[in-house]
Amino acid sequence: MLKIIKIVDTINEWAGRVSSIFGYALFIVVVVGVIARKVFNHPFIWNFEASYMLYAAMFLLGFGYTLKYKMHVTIDVFYSVLGPKAQLLFDIIGFLLFFVPFAYVSLKSSTIFTIQSWQMMEHSQSTWAPPIYPFKTLMPIAFVLLALQAIVEIIKSIYIKGKGWEIDE
């Protein structure tokens, strides 16, 4: 079990680092676009699409990484006053009531969306017209990584807050 936790943590760590590289690339694309438009009065046709694709890729690949480091929005006012066992119960109930349905619907709809995009070899409708089916593939991948990290976080909560519950190696 600990091996699986380590594998999922490592994959999401890697995805988070790739996501940060997209952040730097996004910064460069935006700066180049602004300079081209404002200084030379000659905007690039690819700039807007490249920027939103990089932003979305950065956002999507950061899902699991953000969860791993507990940077998602939480209600700490209530959670912080609870004891470890109550926090564990809160984590499990929250996971089952809110996260599982969200992850299921998001994964299912994004997978359908991605398959349709690949079937039609979808391209953007702009003048630049880059292929967007590879980009759309990031959506189901991101939701799988998020779901795996959520499962790992629940297992970690059980292991840490459950005190006495063991995880098989």
Residue corresponding to tokens 């979305």: 56
Q: What is the pLDDT of residue 84?
A: 83
Rounded average pLDDT over 22-49: 95
Q: What is the pLDDT of residue 158?
A: 85
**How confident is residue 165, by pLDDT bands cut at 50, 70 and 90?**
low
**Contact partners, residue 149, CB within 8 Å, separation at least 6:** 8, 9, 12, 63, 64, 65, 67, 68
Per DSSP, the three-state class of 78 is helix
Extended beta strands in the chain, E state: none
